[in-house]
Each structure stands twice: as structure tokens, then as C-alpha cells.
Amino acid sequence: MAKVLIIAGSKSDENFVKQALDLFDEWGIEYEFRIFSAHRNLEELIEFLKNLESDFKVIIAVAGLAAALPGVVASMTSLPVIGVPNNVGPLNGIDALLSIVQMPKGVPVGTMGIGNHGMRNAAYFAKRILDLEVSK
Amino acid sequence: MAKVLIIAGSKSDENFVKQALDLFDEWGIEYEFRIFSAHRNLEELIEFLKNLESDFKVIIAVAGLAAALPGVVASMTSLPVIGVPNNVGPLNGIDALLSIVQMPKGVPVGTMGIGNHGMRNAAYFAKRILDLEVSK
Amino acid sequence: MAKVLIIAGSKSDENFVKQALDLFDEWGIEYEFRIFSAHRNLEELIEFLKNLESDFKVIIAVAGLAAALPGVVASMTSLPVIGVPNNVGPLNGIDALLSIVQMPKGVPVGTMGIGNHGMRNAAYFAKRILDLEVSK
Amino acid sequence: MAKVLIIAGSKSDENFVKQALDLFDEWGIEYEFRIFSAHRNLEELIEFLKNLESDFKVIIAVAGLAAALPGVVASMTSLPVIGVPNNVGPLNGIDALLSIVQMPKGVPVGTMGIGNHGMRNAAYFAKRILDLEVSK
Amino acid sequence: MAKVLIIAGSKSDENFVKQALDLFDEWGIEYEFRIFSAHRNLEELIEFLKNLESDFKVIIAVAGLAAALPGVVASMTSLPVIGVPNNVGPLNGIDALLSIVQMPKGVPVGTMGIGNHGMRNAAYFAKRILDLEVSK
Amino acid sequence: MAKVLIIAGSKSDENFVKQALDLFDEWGIEYEFRIFSAHRNLEELIEFLKNLESDFKVIIAVAGLAAALPGVVASMTSLPVIGVPNNVGPLNGIDALLSIVQMPKGVPVGTMGIGNHGMRNAAYFAKRILDLEVSK
Amino acid sequence: MAKVLIIAGSKSDENFVKQALDLFDEWGIEYEFRIFSAHRNLEELIEFLKNLESDFKVIIAVAGLAAALPGVVASMTSLPVIGVPNNVGPLNGIDALLSIVQMPKGVPVGTMGIGNHGMRNAAYFAKRILDLEVSK
Amino acid sequence: MAKVLIIAGSKSDENFVKQALDLFDEWGIEYEFRIFSAHRNLEELIEFLKNLESDFKVIIAVAGLAAALPGVVASMTSLPVIGVPNNVGPLNGIDALLSIVQMPKGVPVGTMGIGNHGMRNAAYFAKRILDLEVSK
């Protein structure tokens, strides 16, 4: 069953996210990919997060601009949440980076770099967490 | 009955918010002031927003750092939402400004300046909206 | 009669503004669109603002670079003013954002995000204010 | 008669401006110092600028935050306008610098550095312009 | 045995790090705290990382300025590495944030916010990873 | 005889500068255009500035990157110097803006905006200074 | 024998580096060019640096993003190290500049500008150091 | 005889520079410390640089704000020039960093970090260059 949940804020993030999904495919790690906006489907998102199947170990949340998604996901689950700032819009992702990384204490998001490198590193970071189990 | 709802993300924002409350007191405008964090009490916040008494006309949402509160409030109500970036933390509020203002299309937040001027202007902006009614 | 007044700082903003006008058309909200520069036609702009027909409820002001227009409009009317920073020029709109949002106390501008998302959100925000009336 | 007009956006700029006034006193250059906010007394400011006594040769305009004053002054007179960004507020004057310097073509403001050095240099720059006459 | 390894780049980071250690103490999570600079003791650091006792599950790496430590740690181990940018120096930690978060693909660092909130969130994030085991 | 001296830091600035020259041609203002780099021909530049023909009233200095030219010109003459930051290089001219505008007290440069608007405004600003004479 | 060692963080930097190599060829200065990532081949890099042939006088280290390479090289050798920030990624090299230049005391990197100018200047700077010998 | 020449832009930089001088004293390296402003004593500076005693091997140039000094020194000598951005003024030295590091090709400045760490590293970097001789 799927171990990694990937949530992107918008359908337009699909190609961007694919970079991580390809790595999971290559590694044989099962994942589920969903699209929820923290701003457009907040209640559905919360409902979904409250009923997560228990096999998920890590969540990757991807968003651009005033990127609230990763923080909201971190606040609604107790799993480790990896945030990826997408470099969309006129500020090239520095807005998304700050919106994701500058979380108040108690609600951590493990933030990756802006854009393609960060998107792939989210997969690598998830794998490091999943490998903890295997190594036991 | 109260026409303006003010929500701050943290108890430590109280003195900062008081600058707006004093103006409302001076103008005889009734308000309700609540503290909810988008990251620490998200469900309570949503529950509260879904059951707003109908007399509210404007909401002011105040937050610092990765300031998700104003966007979340805007996504859960159809009232005009005014966002105020508090200048807390090492980046002096530029993180909060970008987290509040760079909203994706469909979920607008009317953003004020960083810090004290912005906090007072939130009251002035709310008054402009409330005065629309009176002037009819 | 027109409820929303949209003012852009330059003829070159027309296509940019159209994104909001299309939304108003779709919603059946009447608007008037004018071009005035705070720097090139300041007196005409002031004359125009002092004689606004009373039906206007909201003003949207759009400008790039050292974007003084929204602040000037806010200082000459008592209506709620929504400011939109256009992402023109080598700084991609961060200059316009700061020129619009960092208003001194007493003259508020409800600022939207930089560029296309912000331009559309200006229409959504105006609609939220207009809907206050309808809902009574 | 006074050759230099200094306009500051707020009474709280007085001490800041004094650095330039002291230089003019030392040099025996006559000046007039006025306080007008581009946002709070725009019409008075315009009225004043339209009736300037003909002896003024240079105008220095000082403002912080969303510093619209220098640009507005430049748009209402044909004299050379020197803009000084005051380092007030949480962004330490970078907002004022961009609001003053990034003027659209046709309405130039000769911008000085942020804060004390810039305030004094406004006097030095004004003197360079006034000395052009003397040297004839 | 210790599950969390905390490495700080300099002895002067000790008080800063203590915020996380106090949380681990409170939660009864064992940790080891070491000081190694990526720039002053690189070989010792590498030697230490290559001989890590197998019980460690997570590493927290704390550094300021050109903060190379977290990336270097991530490159020398296969454990999840959490990076914390300390807000020291004239740029208040924005240099450390970018030096930690902008990692090239393949070597991920889960980056926390700048300063105190980020330091505490490193502990919260580590706990989320450790809790994965417990929950099995 | 030429009243305006325009100095650009590099031959590659020629097309950029032409925007101002065209305005001077249109207005019938005589100018001289020279290329000197503050970094590659400093002594020639100084020699040239020390022997300026007396008819020059204003100097426009154009440079990109670590734009030292305008400050150096201001330090070697007593004429008003207008600085224009060219938006070349990966930082899009923000480096040139700060290198030109942040002058220490005593050596003022009247700085224009970054790029095309600023280049044209240099001509408009020069004209305002030249018009002071005519108006006597 | 080779006097200059050039190390780039990634194979994709080759064309960028070639600008410096061409200058060395033109000047008849011998060099060795190697690719090591501080994040992907750290131990090999260290091994290589510890066994440097004694003829090297200067090292040029080139990297983008969270550019740790120049600092790591400076920490493992006693030769002067010149750092070049490559302008790759969504932040256009400002991340690399800060990651290279903001070194803690004791481990200096002589940092060049971002991108092409900086890459060529690394060669010019290396030549200035090599010329010290010749001039004796 | 003195091997290192240190030039600071202003008398107020003396305490700042002392951090490097103390290191040279400790190491027994002779130096000469001079104050010249690129903006206030440019010709004297040039005269001095053209008549440098031949024993100097490295120059350290220290400046704040629109820090032109290091680039000017680099353009007037063929020695390696180390630039140090002092963190004075409202922008905390980011202006000085960009004014020093973003040099056009052909005139390199080996730039250190902003403030105290950078000032000390200038001494360490100078020592690395001087040690090249000794090691022969």
C-alpha cells in the first residue's frame, strides 16, 4: 500500500510533481497523488487528512505563491510533512519559500529548495524517512 | 451588534491589534476580537467561521511569519477579508507580507502594510466598507 | 449604474485590466474603466475623483513601478480602494507592491498580489464588498 | 528670497530634515520648509505647488514608506525635484527608495540614498544646481 | 540509546540549540549534541558521521551565515537531515536560509524557519519521524 | 555648444543611452556622448573631467553592475550628476541601483529608476535643470 | 606544471567555466580542471585536495544554488580560494553569492560577481596572484 | 617592509579595520593602513596607488554603502585586491556587498563577507597569498 502521499495545490503543478513521482516509480515506492488547494478546497482537504489510511508515513505538499498548503497539512496530521515551493509567478518562488518555511513553533514543515531541485529532493527526503524502517 | 470580526494568529499579537480596537472604540464601531491560529486551531477556526453571526460585514486577520491565517479566513467566508502582516521574527515581516498578499486567484485578501501603520489602516479600511451602508 | 470604478495608470495596462473586466461582465456587475496617471494627469484625476457619481461603491487602482496611483485615489475618496501592483519593469513588480501596500496610517489601500492573480482577485474582492449590500 | 523648497511628508520627519537645513544655513542659502503629505493633504499641496513664488529653483521632497510625495511634487512642477527616502518602518527604507526612484518616464525624481547620508546629499545636490547660476 | 543527533556549527550556537534540547528532555527523547564546523573541522566531522552508532534516526544540523553544515551532513549520511538557519550576522539569517535550503537534487535537507521558531520546530519535526516507529 | 555631457560605462550601453539622446535631439538640446569606464579608464576619465569645457551644465552617468561611474564623476566635478542604473546582469539592475544611489554624504548623485524609464527620465531631469536658466 | 586548479560543482558548469579557461590559454597559464560536488563526492574531493601537487598556487571553485564547494575547498587547503557563484536556478545566483561570500572567520573565500563577469574575473584575479611571483 | 596595504574609505571604519590589523600583528606581518575615500580624495588615492612601494603584495580595501573604493583600487593597480563590505547604514551592508562584488570583467575584487567575519577573513586571505612565497 501507498507509503507516500503527495498533495499539490493546483492542477497546473502536475508536470512539476511528476519529477518526484518518476523517482518513486523507479524506486518501487508506492504513492498516492492528490490535488487540493488550501484556499479552494480547505474543508475537503481537512476531511481527507483526518481519514488518512494508516499506511502513509510521509506527506509531500507542493504549492506556489502564498503557499499555505504545506503548513495546513502539517497542522492537520502528525506525519512528517515535506514542503516544496514551486517557482511560479513574478517573484519566482521566493514568496512560496517564505510562506512554507517560516512556520511558527509547533507546526514544522521540512522545506525543500525552490523549483525542480526541491521537487526531486522531496522524493529523496521521503525515501530517507522510509528507509529508516527498512533498516531495522 | 458587532460588525467587525478581528482574528489574530497568536496571543502575543494582542497589543499590536489594540491599535485597531482603539480606533473602533473611538468611532463607536462594535467588534469582536478572537484568537485562532491557522496552524494550531484550524478546525476550531473553520467551525467558528462557518457559524458566523450574520451581522459581521468585514473580517480583519492578523498574522506574522508564514502568515496563513488571512488566506484561510478568506477561503472559508464570503466576507471581505483584510490581512495585516505583523513584523515579528528575523525577517521583519516581509515573510508575512508575501504570505498574505500573494494569494491565488479566487481567494482575495485586501492586504495592509507591515506593522503598526498596517494595523491601524485595517481599521480605516474596515470603516470605509461599513460606511458604504450608512451612506445609502 | 456602474458600481465599480477601475483606474489604471497607463494605456499599456489595458490588457492586464481586462482580466478583471471579463469577470465583472460574467457576473453582470457594471463598471467604468478609466486611465489616469497619478504622475501625468494628477489634477484631472483629482477633479474626476471629486465629482464621482454617487453609485460607485468600490475603486480598483492598477499601477506598476513607483505605483502612486492607488494611494492617491485612497487619499481623495472615502470609498474602499483596492490596489493592484502590475509586474512591469526590471524588478517584476516588487517595487509596485511596496509602493502600494506600505501606506501611512489613515489612508488604507487593500492590496492584491503582484500580476495576473492579483488583478483577478481585485474583481473577486470588489464582488465581496458589493455582495454585502445584496445580502441585506 | 528662498531658492530651495523643502517638503516633508510628516511632522515626524523634522529632525531628519534638519540635517539639510543646517547645511543651507551654513552656506547662506535661503530655504522654505513645509510639511504636506501626498496622502493626507494632497489638494493643499497641489494648490501650494501651483502658486509657488518664482524664485524657487529646486525642491527637495522627503518621505518614508510608500513615499509618493516626491513623485507627486515632480508631476506638479517643472522644477528639478530631489527625493529623499527616510528609513522609517520595518523595511528600513527600501520601500521608500523604490517608491521614489522607480518613476515612469516623463516625471523624473533625482533620488538620494536612504536615510542620513541621503538627506545631507539632497542639500549638496541642490547647491550644485544653484551654483550653476552663480558661475555664469 | 540516543535517537537524535544534533550538530551545531559553532560553540556560540549552544543557547540557541538548547531550545530544542529542552523539548527532547521534556518528551523523554534521548539525543547527543555535538559541535563541528563544516569549515573548521570538516574531516573530523566526516569521520564522526561515517562511524555513527546505528541507533540514530534523525540528524539536526544548525548553522548561520554561509551555512554549509546541513548540506555536508546530508551528503555524508543516509539519515533524514533537518537544517536550521541561525539568525546571526548582518543579514539576519536570510543567507543561512538560502545556503541550507537551495540544495542540488539528490542531497535533501528538510529546512526549518530562521531563528527560534525554526530551532524548536526542528525538535517537533524530529519527533514526527521518531513517532512513525512507535506507531507501528 | 553642448550643455549636457553623457558618459556611459561601456560601449554596450549605446543603444540604451540612445533613448535619452533622441529626446535631446527632439528638444534641440546639444550634448556630448562619451564612453569611459570608472574601472577600465579611470585616469583618462579624470583627466577628461578636469578639463571639461565650461559650457556643460549637467552630466548624466550610466552604468550597470557595481556601477561606480556616477559616483566617481560626482566626486571629480561640481556639476549636478544624474545617475542611471542599467538593468544588465543576473540581478536585473538592483546592484547598479544600490551602487549609484547609496552615496556617502558630500558626493550626491541624483539617481533615476532602473532601465528604460530611468534612462529617459535622465533626459527629462537634465532639461528641468537647463530650463532654470532659460526661465530667468 | 599547472599553477591553477579549477573545480566546478557539476558537469553542467563546463561551458560556464570555459570562459576562464580560454583566458588562461590565451595567457599561457597552465591549469587543471576538475569536477567535484561538495554534496555528491565530498570524500573524493577531500582526498584529492589533501594530495594536491605542490605546484598549484590558486584554486578557483565554481558552484550554484546552496554553493558549499568554495567554502569546503577553502577549509581543506591553505591556498587562496576564489569562489564564483553561477547564476543557475530560480533565484538567479543570489543564493550562490550568499552561500559563497558569507564565510565564518578563519576560512576566507575571495568571491567574484555572479555569472559570466565573475567567471572571467576569477581568471583575472588568479593571474594577479600568479604575477606576484614573476615580479620578484 | 610592509607587505599588506589596507585602505579604508572613512575614518569611522578604523575600529572595524582593527580586527584585521590585530591578526597581522599577531602573525608578525607588516602592513600599512591608510584612509582614502574613492569619493572624497580620488586623485590623492590614485596618486598614492601609482607610487606604491614595490614591496606590497596584497591590498585590502574596506568600504560601506555605495562602496566604490575596492573597485577603484583594483582598477589602478595590478596587485590582488581584497574587498570588505562594512555593514553600515540602513541596508546593513547588502548595498556595500553588491557594490564591491559585482565588478565588470577585467577588474576583479576578491570579496569577503559583510561585517566582522569578512574583515577578519580579509586578513586570513591576505596571509594565504603571502604564504605562497614563503612556501617556495
Residue of C nearest to B113 (CA): C102
- Shortest Cα distance from D66 to chain B (angstroms)? 9
- Shortest Cα distance from F14 to chain G (angstroms)? 19
**Inter-residue contact H67 to H100 (CB < 8 Å):** yes
Q: Class for domain C4-134, per CATH?
A: alpha beta
Q: Which residues in chain G have Cβ-Cβ distances shorter than 8 Å to F90? A: 87, 92-93, 114-115
> Could you give the percent of chain A with pLDDT greater than 90?
90
- Look up residue B130 and give its three cell numbers: 461599513
| Averaged pLDDT of chain E | 95
d(Cα F24, Cα B127) in Å, to the nearest integer? 50
Q: Out of G38, G89, G103, whose CB is closest to E65?
A: G103
Least confident of E100-104, F36-40, H88-92: F36-40
pTM to 2 decimals? Answer: 0.97
**D-F contacts (CB, under 8 Å):** 109
Q: Out of B103, B117, B118, whose CB is closest to C121?
A: B103
d(Cα E99, Cα E38) in Å, to the nearest integer? 13
**Which band of pLDDT confidence, cut at 50, 70 and 90, is reported for residue B54?**
confident
Disruptive mutation site among C86, C88, C91, C94 for chain A (greatest number of A CBs within 10 Å): C94
d(Cα C95, Cα F113) in Å, to the nearest integer? 11
Disruptive mutation site among C60, C132, C135, C136 for chain B (greatest number of B CBs within 10 Å): C132
Residue of B nearest to C132 (CA): B57
d(Cα B24, Cα B124) in Å, to the nearest integer? 9
Domain ranges in chain B? Answer: 4-134
Written in H, E and C, the secondary structure of chain C is CCCEEEEECCHHHHHHHHHHHHHHHHHCCCEEEEECCCCCCHHHHHHHHHCCCCCCCEEEEEECCCCCHHHHHHHHCCCCEEEEECCCCCCCCHHHHHHHHCCCCCCCCEECCCCHHHHHHHHHHHHHHHHHHHCC
CA angle at G71 for the pair E119 and E101, rounded to the nearest 5°: 35
Query: Rg (Cα) of chain B, in Å, rounded?
Result: 14
pLDDT, tens digit (0-9, with 9 covering 90-100), for E27-65: 999 999 999 999 889 999 999 999 998 799 999 999 999
Q: What is the pLDDT of residue E135?
A: 54
| Averaged pLDDT of chain H | 95
Q: Out of F40, F76, F94, whose CB is closest to H107?
A: F40
Q: Out of H43, H89, H91, whose CB is closest to F46?
A: H43
Average pLDDT over residues F92-105: 98
Adjacency order of strands within the sheet including B110-111: B31-35, B4-8, B58-63, B81-85, B110-111, C110-111, C81-85, C58-63, C4-8, C31-35
Q: Is the pLDDT at A20 greater than 70, yes or no?
A: yes
pLDDT, tens digit (0-9, with 9 covering 90-100), for A25-80: 999 999 999 999 998 899 999 999 999 987 999 999 999 999 999 999 999 999 99
For every residue of chain D, DSSP letters joined together read: ---EEEEESSGGGHHHHHHHHHHHHHHT--EEEEE--TTTSHHHHHHHHHT--TT--EEEEEE-SS--HHHHHHHH-SS-EEEEE---TTTTTHHHHHHHH-PPTTS--EEPPSSHHHHHHHHHHHHHHHHHHHT-
pLDDT, tens digit (0-9, with 9 covering 90-100), for C51-79: 997 799 999 999 999 999 999 999 999 99
Q: What is the pLDDT of residue F88?
A: 95
**Inter-residue contact G25 to G125 (CB < 8 Å):** no
Q: Which residues in chain G have Cβ-Cβ distances shorter than 8 Å to F66? A: 113
Residue of H nearest to G120 (CA): H105
pLDDT, tens digit (0-9, with 9 covering 90-100), for C94-134: 999 999 999 999 999 999 999 999 999 999 999 999 999 75
Q: What is the pLDDT of residue D1?
A: 73
Average pLDDT over residues H28-48: 94
- Shortest Cα distance from H90 to chain D (angstroms)? 6
Average pLDDT over residues E72-76: 97
Q: What is the pLDDT of residue B32?
A: 97
**D-H contacts (CB, under 8 Å):** 17
Q: Which stretches in chain D have pLDDT values below 70?
A: 134-136
Disruptive mutation site among D16, D84, D91, D114 for chain H (greatest number of H CBs within 10 Å): D114
Adjacency order of strands within the sheet including D4-8: D31-35, D4-8, D58-63, D81-85, D110-111, F110-111, F81-85, F58-63, F4-8, F31-35
- Shortest Cα distance from E116 to chain B (angstroms)? 9
Q: Which residues in chain C have Cβ-Cβ distances shorter than 8 Å to A89? A: 113-115, 117
3-state class (DSSP) for residue B71: helix
Q: Which residues in chain A have Cβ-Cβ distances shorter than 8 Å to E117? A: 102-105
Residue of F nearest to G112 (CA): F66
Please enumerate residues of B whose Cβ is less than 8 A from a Cβ of C: 57, 78-82, 97, 101-114, 116-118, 120-122, 124-125, 128-129, 131-133, 136
Up-side HSE of residue E101: CA atoms within 13 Å toward CB? 39
Q: Out of H39, H91, H98, whose CB is closest to F66?
A: H98
E95 annotated ligand binder: no
D10 annotated ligand binder: yes
Residue of D nearest to H64 (CA): D117
**Inter-residue contact H86 to H16 (CB < 8 Å):** yes
Q: CA nearest A64: which of A121, A8, A120?
A: A8
Q: What is the pLDDT of residue B110?
A: 98
- Shortest Cα distance from C134 to chain D (angstroms)? 32
ipTM above 0.90, yes or no: yes
Q: Is the pLDDT at E73 greater than 80, yes or no?
A: yes
**Inter-residue contact B66 to B95 (CB < 8 Å):** yes
Q: What is the pLDDT of residue H135?
A: 54
pLDDT, tens digit (0-9, with 9 covering 90-100), for F44-69: 999 999 999 879 999 999 999 999 99
Residues of F at the annotated binding site for substrate? 10, 13, 40
Q: Which residues make Cβ contacts (< 8 Å) with residue D4, sequence separation at least 6?
A: D24, D29, D30, D31, D32, D56, D57, D58, D59, D60, D126, D130
Residue of G nearest to A86 (CA): G90
Average pLDDT over residues G78-91: 97
Q: Out of C65, C66, C90, whose CB is closest to F93?
A: C90
Subunits next to E (3 or more Cβ pairs <8 Å) are A, B, G, H
Average pLDDT over residues B4-22: 96
pLDDT, tens digit (0-9, with 9 covering 90-100), for G6-65: 999 999 999 999 999 999 999 999 999 999 999 889 999 999 999 998 799 999 999 999
Adjacency order of strands within the sheet including A31-35: A31-35, A4-8, A58-63, A81-85, A110-111, E110-111, E81-85, E58-63, E4-8, E31-35
Q: What is the pLDDT of residue G88?
A: 95
Q: Out of B65, B66, B91, whose CB is closest to E92?
A: B91
d(Cα B9, Cα B29) in Å, to the nearest integer? 22
CB B91: neighbour CB atoms within 10 A? 24
Q: Which residues in chain C have Cβ-Cβ distances shorter than 8 Å to A65? A: 113, 117
